[in-house]
Every structure is written in C-alpha cells, then in structure tokens.
Structure 1
Amino acid sequence: MGGFVAIPEPDRTGLALFKDWRTWYRVTGTLGGGPEPLVVLHGGPGAGHDYTLRIARIAEQGRPVIHYDQLGIGLSTHLPDRGADFWTVQLFLDELDSLLATLGIQDGYHVLGQSWGGMLAAEHAVRRPAGLRSLTIANSPASMELWLAAAAGLRAELPPAVQETLLAHEAAGTTDSDAYKAAEQVFYARHVCRVTPNPPEVDATWAKVAEDGTVYHTMNGPNEFHVIGTLKDWTVIDRLHLIDVPTLLVSGRHDEATPATVQPFADRIPDVRWEIFEDSSHMPHIEEEERYLQVVGAFLDSV
C-alpha cells in the first residue's frame, strides 16, 4: 500500500486567468527543455486536486507534472450561486484549454484524468487537440448508464442493513443524515479507497467537498453511487473512435469503475492498453502507489 513516501513540494504555483475567474495550479518540476508535461485532471466533479497529489511523484522520473483545481473547488474561484446550466462539460473543457495556453504547453502535453477527470480527458481527446501526446484514463466510466448499473451491482453486495439504510434515506431525501453517511462509508471503504485510515490528501478532498459541494452535488449527486445530477445521462461511447493518441486505461480490481464501465474505452479507442491493479479500488495511485507510478511513467516514456 502507498502513503509512505512524501508528496513532492511544487516548484511553482499560480492563478491562471479564465474568463472572469481564476484557476489555481501547481507545477512539480520544470516546464520546458525536457519531457513534455503531464496534466492531471481531478475527479468529482468538484473534488479538488488534493487526493491525486501522489501522481506528482512522476516528476521524480524527470517529467513535470501539473495539477490544478477546476473551477468551483479548492483554491480556484468558487461560484456557489451558479445553477445547473452553468456547470457543464464544455465549461471545464474551456478551462483546460485556457490553462494549457496560460502555461504555454498547448503544443505538447500529456493528460491523465482520474474518475470524472478521465471522463473530461476523453471529451478533450475526442476533439483531437494538436498538442495532445497521450491520454491516461484512470478509474473512469465511458458512460453514466454503465456507472449506475455497476453501482447497483456493488450495492447489492453490501450487508443487508447497509442497503436498507441507503435506500430508506434516498427515498426520504435525507442523504445528509449521519446514518446515511455511515452506510455510505461502508461502500467507500470497499470501492473508493481501501487504505484505512484514508491518507491526509484524501481527507482533504472530502473536506473541501463538504465545505463547498456546489459542483459535486449539481453535476453528480450526494455521493459516488447515487448519481442524480446533470451528468446522469452523460456518455462518450459514440465518439471514442475519434481519439487518435496512445491511451492507457487504469482501473482497480475492486473499483467502483468496474470492468464493464471501462470496456467501451478498450473496445473503441484505436491505440489502447489496459492495466488492472489487483489490490486497488478507485485510487490505485494511493493503494498501489509504486506500481502505479512505474506503469504510468513507462507508458508516458513509451510515447
């Protein structure tokens, strides 16, 4: 299990102008003159970058790594009064394009997206941006229909009392109750992060969602497996054949992104390979940190 090696400090941080707002970013390593950078897209939507910070250790291999907080969470501009019509996939695609241009890396970069970040990364890649060198889709579904079907199957394997608590509170609209939250954690410990207790960077992410859940609750819903937000009908399956860069798929054997949710990526992306981490769930970058860094690093170097 990971969590024992220090997360590297950033070489620089900043705020990039995006329309009337600010996108916070951090760079681990030095941009320019070496391997093209890896840009990490965090999940949620609206989860913040913290829980993905161990991926910054790719910089130890000589490749700079860029993390950022997407609009609405963390150290970027918060907009709690904006409604569902504002929080769209296109907004986050535009933000990514803006950040690439601000950092001057739009002509050569790699993207790694985790969970929702992988969905966003796929949306970015199907547009065939000229500077995209490779794509890593980590722990992501190709459609929310598949995600919801997988979640239903995993929920059915929970203890009966936990299932009953979840269903009762979802029906009553009381998903913010302590009893529901406790039942939710049973699922999370099996299928989200199997490192217990969760490392500080994961706790930091959950704390930020609790502090401002605008994006997460609007686009996703109350939690990872009860998706009632604006993304509930999302799919990229019909466009995956357009991805024209080498692609690595990453998932965990116990992942809430089950093999069935990932399979369309494997079937439809022309140049693709798939690595399943046997001792991981949704966060193999934490659960099997060293192997994850080796697999992802070797893939990036091969490109």
Structure 2
Amino acid sequence: MTPDDKGVLPFQGFETWYRVTGRIGAGRPALVVVHGGPGSTHDYLLNLAGLAADGWPVVHYDQIGNGGSTHLPDAEPGFWTPELFLAELDNLVTRLGIADNYVLFGHSWGGPLAARHAAGRPTGLRGLVVANAPASYPLWRREAARLRAALPPGTDATLARHEAAGTTGSREYQAAMRVFYDRHVCRVSPWPRDYVASFYEIANDPTVYYTMNGPSEFHVVGTLRDWSVVDCLAGITAPTLVLSGRHDEATPATLQPFLDHIPDSRWVVFEESSHLPHLEEPERFTAVLRGFLAELAEEHSHA
C-alpha cells in the first residue's frame, strides 16, 4: 500500500481537506467516505482506511467549515445548505480524478447527502452505502421524540427544560444528553478515540452543526429540520447497501424510504450496535462492507 496522500483542494474560493489511503487508478473504484454532522469531521470514520489493503483506494475528507477544511465561523446561516455540500462532493470527485470509477459511503447526514448525489445518476458511480442515516429529517425528529420518551424517568423532562430555556450548554443538559448518546449513538465505553476526536472537533467549531442541525443529535432545530431526499430516491440506479444498528438513533422508520424507493437496495442490521457499527462491531462491519464491495467489483468486471 502506498503512503497516505493528504492535501487540500480548491473549492469556491475555499479549501477542502482530503486524505487518500491506497493508490487511485490501480483498478478498483475509490471509496469516498462522506462523514456526518453536518459539521463533524472524517476522524470517526478513519478505520475505513483499512479497506485499502484489499485494493480499494479510500478517500476521506472534511466538509467545508470543519476539521482541516476552511472554517467560516462568521458565515451567514443561509450559506450552509445541502447544495453547498453537494457541490463540494462533486468538486472533490472531479479534482481527484475519480469521477469515472467510485463508490460512495455516506454516514448519518452523509447518507442523504450521498443519496442526493447518486440520484443524479453520475456515470462513474458503481455503488452506494447509506449507513445509519435518515431519508428525511421530519422522520428523524419524530423518531428522536419517541426514543427520548423511552429514556430513564426524568431525562427527557430535563432535556426539554433546558431546550426551552436555551441553556443546552449547561452541565445538566450535557449529562442528560450523554444518556441518549450512550444508548443510541455509541454503546462502546469508553468512547473510541476516533469518535472522541470528531466530537471535540464539533465542540471546537460548532458553526455548521448548530446552524444546520442544532445543539444535539435529537434536538434538530436548525435549517435541516424539514429537509428530505425521499422525493429523489427512485432515481438512484446504483446498487445500494443500507446499514443500521439495532439500537440506532437512525431507526428503521427513518431509513425505510431508502429501501422502499431505491430499486436495487438491501438492508443489514448490526445487532450489538447503535449509530456507529464500524466502531461498535468493527469485524462484522468490515466483513459486510467487503462483501458488498466484492459484489460490485464482480458486477463491474462483467459489465
């Protein structure tokens, strides 16, 4: 395997940080990893780089506003739109020279973003993985309310009180938030280092996350609150793998539209996981993803 190639790509007067593990153009499609948030970073998905050992070049990048990419803490809220991040993804794929041969892996917010990209039927897209992701934020908000109601007694009331008062930065809110996260986001204790790294990156510059999402995973009051990709899913022709955890905040109801509307789609559930099966059940996760990628390679070889 060649050493990692890291750098920045120009994008609309700003810069997108990227990292390539493996060698692009060696035969197999590049796997482009689209992280969640919006406003997180690539760090928590770093272990996907291990797939490069099988000959799949793996592309990580930080979406604009976070990590190694250009930070814009003073940008107007209207600057941060799904269209911005779709344009950034198009730019990345084009400038890295992989537009004719790639697979998308979209996690959480990255899932509907990757699905919207795939709905444009790019000719070089070989496959799509939608991991732990909602097809619509109205569905996500509805399911979050249901999951919150099932938390230990008093937890939801504490969360709601601080949300109403605008004191979501308080220690009491953060402690109650952690109850939800330990149940529905990451069930590994202590949290894996890669996940903690992304968690702190959001804390260091919460501009994008707070603007588009809100103060927590389950209190979506930002500009994404009514965003959905359900209306475009039928246009996706790439083979699609949908992943979720049994205890996931991305519940079956939030991802069902992917399965209902994408013609060539299948679903795998990780029984011991919540929102991060690549960290919670890494061995099975890698086996499942390797199996899907191998099928894509086989299909492409016969095309």
TM-score normalized by the length of structure 1: 0.96
Q: 1:92 to 1:10 in 2, by over 3 A?
A: farther
Offset of 1:43 from its aligned partner? 0.1
What residue in structure 2 maps to residue 140 of structure 1? 133
Deviations 1:51-103 (A, max 9, x none): 01111111122211000000000000001111221001110111111111111
What residue in structure 2 maps to residue 246 of structure 1? 239
Q: 1:205 to 1:284 in 2, by over 3 A?
A: same
If asked which structure has higher relative contact order (CA below 8 Å, sep 6+), I would say: 1
Query: What residue ranges of structure 1 are gaps of 5+ in the alignment?
Result: 1-7
Is 2:149 the counterpart of 1:175?
no
Is 2:208 the counterpart of 1:215?
yes
What residue in structure 1 maps to residue 42 of structure 2? 49
Is 2:17 the counterpart of 1:19?
no
Deviations 1:7-66 (A, max 9, x none): x99521011111211100001111112211100000000101100111111112221100
Aligned partners of 1:28 and 1:125: how far apart in 2?
23
Deviations 1:97-144 (A, max 9, x none): 111111111111000000001011011011111111100000000101
- Give structure 1 regions of 4+ aligned residues with deviation exceeding 6 angstroms: none
* SS in structure 2 at match of 1:47: coil
Offset of 1:162 from its aligned partner? 1.3
Matches within 5 A, 1:83-122: 83-122=76-115
What residue in structure 2 maps to residue 206 of structure 1? 199
Deviations 1:196-222 (A, max 9, x none): 101111111111101100100000000
Is 2:258 the counterpart of 1:265?
yes
Aligned partners of 2:257 and 2:86: how far apart in 1?
22
Aligned partners of 1:161 and 1:149: how far apart in 2?
19
Q: Which moved more, 1:80-89 or 1:70-79?
A: 80-89
Q: 2:181 aligns with which of 171, 185, 188?
A: 188
What residue in structure 2 maps to residue 3 of structure 1? none
Q: 2:273 aligns with which of 274, 280, 283?
A: 280
Matched AA of 2:193: P
Is 2:71 the counterpart of 1:78?
yes
Query: What residue ranges of structure 2 are gaps of 5+ in the alignment?
Result: 297-303
Contact 1:10 1:26 (8 Å CA) reproduced = no
* SS in structure 2 at match of 1:250: strand
Aligned partners of 1:45 and 1:116: how far apart in 2?
6
Q: 1:35 to 1:279 in 2, by over 3 A?
A: same
Aligned residue pairs: how many? Answer: 296
Matched AA of 2:198: T
Sequence identity percentage: 58
Deviations 1:227-251 (A, max 9, x none): 0000000111121100011000000
Aligned partners of 2:223 and 2:276: how far apart in 1?
24
What residue in structure 2 maps to residue 161 of structure 1? 154
Contact 2:131 2:242 (8 Å CA) reproduced = yes
What residue in structure 1 maps to residue 56 of structure 2? 63
Aligned partners of 1:206 and 1:292: how far apart in 2?
22
Matched AA of 1:52: L
What residue in structure 2 maps to residue 295 of structure 1? 288
Contact 1:285 1:292 (8 Å CA) reproduced = yes
What residue in structure 1 maps to residue 301 of structure 2? none
Q: 1:237 to 1:208 in 2, by over 3 A?
A: same
* SS in structure 1 at match of 2:156: helix
